[in-house]
A = this chain, B = another copy of it.
Amino acid sequence: MKPVTIHDIARIANVSSATVSRVLSNSDYPVSKKMKEKVQRIAKELDYIPNLLGKQLKENKSMTIGVIIPTIVNPFYSSVIFGIEEIARQNDFTVIACNSLHDPTLEEEYIRTIVEKQVKGLIISSISTDKTLLKNLMKTGLSVIAIDQKIEGEGISQIEFDYHRGGLIATKHLQSNGHRRIGYVTSKLDRPSRRSIYQGYLDAMKSADLEPLVEESNSKDVYNAVSEFDTGKKLTQKMLSATNPPTAIFACNDMMAFGVINELWQQGIRVPEDVSVMGFDGIDFGQMINPQLTTIKQPDYEMGKMACKMLLDLMQGEDKPMFDVMLQPKLIERGSVVGVPIVTQA
């Protein structure tokens, strides 16, 4: 059964398809009242469903935005998407969500596909180091907002997060609780954001005249929560075998911090009584574990909303002004960090 078109309606109503179009698209073009009612009635009777493809082809826009993130399974990114979708919906846009799985090839494939589908706006947490494709597409009219991953020295509007400052704040918080042997566990330092947190840690340690103690995972990027957790456990084991183990451990993300806590408990080391633990991200689950995780909040949901707002602005504006936003970290104090235990204190 072929779908009903405006021509079908026109035939039945004995009017031209032009009139039908004017009525059904709520054009401000003048149409007599009775004609309008007639068309609307018939459209309803026939269960008319407009074919947006025709409209979009004509108008060269798709009311769709694309979002490319490493993986939706990471609760940080699902919150981001959630925020994006909320703003998109309010503006009658739908969103195509793509998981790049940390794979540059896949990322590029997705970019191509959505551009072919005439998507004119893209929010991306890019994993690829080669931005030439993106920049070329931008020349042809694609609007892009980069989130979460800083794209260095390019003409792309971005929402950054002050990772360096986050690392700094976290470390200083530990220090202000009297900790001097503070370990840092991190996934592979292959992304600018991770390097920034790390640098923040390093700078805080240096300015307090403390010796850094770092464990870095060398496994390639992964894309599920459990492996982050496992990495946290593994790195903690390594760290504990040091000659002078830390009284506080700072993890590069919350999931890894969960692993740290779990490993400590398993070894009979109490958190936070014996060792304090600090996370990074501020995902909701941090308040569901015991002890609740002290962490640095990265505003995921808000970041999504803001990214989408910026993108829609960008797509509308003729002049397309370039602007960046730097979101600030916020310390969330909960139960996993306390003062350094007396017995081990210097």
Binding site for B on A (CB under 8 A): 1, 3, 47, 49-54, 56-57, 62, 64, 71-73, 75, 78-79, 81-82, 85, 89, 94-99, 106, 110, 112-118, 136, 139-141, 224-226, 229, 255, 258-259, 261-262, 265, 284-285, 287-290
Contact = CB atoms under 8 A, between A and B. Distances in A.
Nearest to A301: B73
A140 B255 CA distance: 46
Name the residue in A81, A139, A141, A285 with the highest tally of chain B Cβ atoms < 10 Å from its Cβ.
A285
- Chain A binding surface SS class: helix
Given A53-B53, A73-B82, A288-B289, A97 B99 contact: no
Contacts of A73: 75, 78-79, 82
Given A79-B73, A85-B97, A54 B52 contact: no
A45 to B, nearest CB: 13
Name the residue in A85, A110, A114, A139 with the highest tally of chain B Cβ atoms < 10 Å from its Cβ.
A85
A255 B288 contact: yes
A48 to B, nearest CB: 11
B72 A81 contact: yes
B96 A95 contact: yes
B261 A226 contact: no
Given A49-B115, A82-B99, 17 more contacts: A1-B140, A3-B141, A47-B136, A47-B140, A52-B117, A52-B118, A54-B57, A75-B75, A85-B98, A89-B106, A94-B98, A94-B110, A96-B97, A229-B287, A258-B289, A261-B290, A262-B290
A285 B225 contact: yes
A309 to B, nearest CB: 18
B258 A140 contact: no
Contacts of A49: 112, 115-116, 140
Contacts of A141: 1, 3
B265 A288 contact: no
A94 B75 contact: no
A1 B47 CA distance: 39
